[in-house]
Amino acid sequence: MLLGENCIHETYYEILSVKEDASYEEIRNSYRSAILHSHPDKLNNNNSSSCSSDEKFLKIQKAWEVLSDVELRVVYDNDLRSSRNDYGITADEISIEDMVVEISGDEGEEVIDLFYQCRCGDYFTVDSTEVGTMGFALLRDGDCVRVRRLGAFVASVVLPCGSCSLKTRVWVDSDMKIPLQGDSLLMSGLVQN
């Protein structure tokens, strides 16, 4: 699972606070404890933390959904192992939620480009077509772009910078939202008038 704001990848095991070789019983006990402590109905919700507590609750639910199913867990573990071995060392790990969105094309044939600034000043880029090859769909939804995938598995892609030798790993998970930032692309100089 992923976190926004430049946090590193958080696995389903970390969400449930168990080791990767934990037994079903250990995972179930940890899930029950976590769900009791994060259930929105049990918390004193104030409006500012309501969203984050709901998100935490949903992450715990999703982690349990995958780790409690033997077949899903095997696939998840394989994906997790292979993503750790891909492409060697990267300069940074980000969530797709940390990227800036640019939408081009006509409605119905839109291409969604995602950008993240490299240390050198250039940009790491990926578009909706490339994300589609990973089994994810980027869908415009009002003031954000939603990431959708059948199944509940995390994936990553390593993006090289166009100007220097740095690479960054972008983590993608289903049900993520990338906010549209209006004129921020024009202000950043990414798009020319």
Task: Decide if 131 contacts 113 (C-beta within 8 A).
Answer: no
Is the pTM higher than 0.95?
no
Can you read off the two tokens belonging to residue 30?
A: 């940890």
pLDDT in tens, the chain (193 residues): 333 333 346 889 989 999 989 999 999 999 999 998 887 777 665 554 445 777 888 889 989 999 999 888 888 887 777 666 655 677 888 888 899 998 887 776 778 899 999 999 999 998 888 888 777 888 888 888 888 876 656 777 888 888 988 888 888 877 788 888 754 343 334 443 3
* Residue 190 bridge partners (DSSP): none
Query: Given this model, what pLDDT does residue 162 score?
Result: 83
- The domain locations on the chain are 12-85, 92-188
Query: Given this model, what pLDDT does residue 130 score?
Result: 84
Query: Given this model, what pLDDT does residue 24 score?
Result: 94
Is the domain 12-85 a CATH 1.10.287.110 member? yes
Task: Decide if 93 contacts 10 (C-beta within 8 A).
Answer: no
DSSP H or E run through 63: helix 47-67
Query: Given this model, what pLDDT does residue 133 score?
Result: 78
Query: Given this model, what pLDDT does residue 172 score?
Result: 82
Query: Given this model, what pLDDT does residue 48 score?
Result: 47
Other beta carbons within 10 Å of 93 = 17
Query: Given this model, what pLDDT does residue 33 score?
Result: 93
